[in-house]
Amino acid sequence: MAQTKFLLDEEEIPKRWYNIQADLPTPLDPVINPATKEPIKPQDLAPLFPMELIKQEATQERWIPIPEEVREIYRLWRPTPLYRARRLERALKTPAKIYYKWEGVSPPGSHKPNTAVAQAYYNMNEGVKRIATETGAGQWGSALAFATRLFGLDCTIYMVKVSYEQKPYRRILMESWGAKCFPSPSERTEYGRKVLEQDPNCPGSLGIAISEAIKDAVAHEDTHYSLGSVLNHVLLHQTVVGLEAKKQMELTGDYPDVIFGCVGGGSNYSGAVFPFVADKLSGKKPDLQVVACEPKACPTLTKGLYAYDHGDTAGMTPLLKMFTLGKDFVPPPIHAGGLRYHGDAPLLCKLVKEGIMRAKAYHQTEVFKAAITFARTEGFLIAPETAHCVKAAIDEALRCKETGEEKVILFANSGHGHFDLAAYDSYLRGKIIDYEYPVELIKEALKKLPKVGR
């Protein structure tokens, strides 16, 4: 019988994270201190992050050792399986081969614990007692709640209000692991109160929630801030996904012609594809296509401007060179809450800007349709975020049906949709609305970008 699931032994969990900074054709643009307009110094970040993570943010070393304490916790769910989507292939009548790396087997149900565990470990080592963070759909918040519990840390989470209301089971999961979760904008911080004064019905955004979490962290000496995406060290930790996937693809005898992943901040996508992109950069696989999939309601890579911007709405974070819709951009309340972010990871953005990767945007009705097709063939009900790259994979497979190409397609299946049943209910009942953010409003938000002489 043809093999469907490709597994690795526990001992094959990666022992090192892969740092793509070592292989970039040109260096990453520096992170800028908004006060001085000069490249940021390590001490500037010390109030927010442990020094080991600050070092990982800047290092040019290709391989970073994974602490054994982190690998021990990884063993709870890693290595994760790689599947051949044979039933989906048959349903589509495509000559293409479709593979997916399944991260929904982690305790919180997504890829996010890969970095949450590492960040909690380094914070514990530095004597931090509490971590404050933000979360969109709740995947990151639940992952950090899980990780901090294992290392004996307290956790405070600011959850984007629209997702807090749409996804109560994510909040319950966080609270079950001992975290405190608040809808953002909230009354707990000065910035949250300011936003609510201006718009009492504000649905929130990741940028606003980040501002609240940072305000909380800097106000308490025993507290650090933690980010679930965007920053270099976060993408670094997520490369366990792609490193495992490369080994598993060797077991299949195939190598991807095209790889898809959904993008909000960029950690899931980057972690899955960077180890493969290394082959493209080295010239080993020059024709590899790597495609980031995002919502048309928050079209950062496809309609944003490549410029320096803050990662948060209050303008507290350092300035990052990235594709951005402007820090004041508040996306429509789509169900893929984890993709409602105005910017993207600088490393990812640089590779898109230089043509090494590309991006595609989709409406939420078409991605839910793809997710239902996937559920009815492969059996897994996936997160609305992940559904974006499933849509892309299905489209590619159908193109192969027309052309007769036997392409090898791989996508990053980043998490399950068990806590997104209300979203699926809305889709199945015909209540899902497509949003396409007006270009005029994007241009208006981009007018407020900070001035940086670079």
Does residue 283 lie in a domain region? yes
pLDDT at position 371 is 98
Percent of the chain with pLDDT over 90: 81
Does pLDDT of 334 surpass 80?
no
Does residue 44 lie in a domain region? no
Percent of the chain with pLDDT over 70: 98
- Structural domain that includes position 326: 75-109+233-446
Does residue 217 lie in a domain region? yes
Does pLDDT of 207 surpass 70?
yes
Does pLDDT of 247 surpass 90?
yes
Answer yes or no: do 312 and 402 share one domain.
Answer: yes
Supply the CATH number for residue 304's domain: 3.40.50.1100
Answer yes or no: do 322 and 374 share one domain.
Answer: yes
| Mean pLDDT, all residues of the chain | 94
Does pLDDT of 454 surpass 60?
no
- pLDDT interval class at 447 (50, 70, 90): confident
Is 218 buried (19+), middle (13-18) or exposed (0-12) by CB count in 10 A?
middle
Answer yes or no: do 182 and 94 share one domain.
Answer: no
pLDDT at position 430 is 95
Answer yes or no: do 383 and 286 share one domain.
Answer: yes
Q: Which range among 16-25, 91-100, 204-213 shows the weakest confidence by mean pLDDT?
A: 204-213
Give me the mean pLDDT over the 150-173 stretch.
93
Q: Which tens digits make up the pLDDT trace of 336-370?
A: 666 778 899 999 999 999 999 999 999 999 999 99
Does residue 258 lie in a domain region? yes
Answer yes or no: do 169 and 285 share one domain.
Answer: no
Does residue 35 lie in a domain region? no
Answer yes or no: do 158 and 251 share one domain.
Answer: no
Does pLDDT of 236 surpass 60?
yes
The residue among 187, 205, 227 that closes a domain is 227
pLDDT at position 335 is 66
Cα(236)–Cα(118) distance, integer angstroms = 10
Domain count along the chain:
2
Answer yes or no: do 237 and 380 share one domain.
Answer: yes
Does residue 31 lie in a domain region? no
Give me the mean pLDDT over the 116-133 stretch.
98
Answer yes or no: do 439 and 355 share one domain.
Answer: yes
Answer yes or no: do 409 and 296 share one domain.
Answer: yes
Strand partners, 361: 294
Answer yes or no: do 148 and 174 share one domain.
Answer: yes
Strand partners, 82: 6, 101
The residue among 204, 227, 250 that closes a domain is 227
pLDDT at position 212 is 95
pLDDT at position 336 is 62
Is 287 buried (19+), middle (13-18) or exposed (0-12) by CB count in 10 A?
exposed
Give me the mean pLDDT over the 296-321 stretch.
90
Does residue 53 lie in a domain region? no
Does residue 60 lie in a domain region? no
pLDDT at position 148 is 98
Collapsed DSSP state (helix, strand, coil) of residue 293: strand
Does pLDDT of 315 surpass 70?
yes
Dihedral pair phi/psi, residue 131, rounded to 5°: -125, 135
Nearest alpha carbon to residue 303 among 255, 268, 343, 258: 343
Give me the mean pLDDT over the 281-310 stretch.
95
Nearest alpha carbon to residue 139 among 313, 362, 386: 386
The residue among 173, 195, 227 that closes a domain is 227
Q: Which tens digits make up the pLDDT trace of 86-113?
A: 999 999 999 999 999 999 999 999 999 9
pLDDT at position 338 is 66
Answer yes or no: do 93 and 139 share one domain.
Answer: no
Does pLDDT of 305 surpass 60?
yes
Answer yes or no: do 103 and 129 share one domain.
Answer: no
Give me the mean pLDDT over the 390-394 stretch.
98
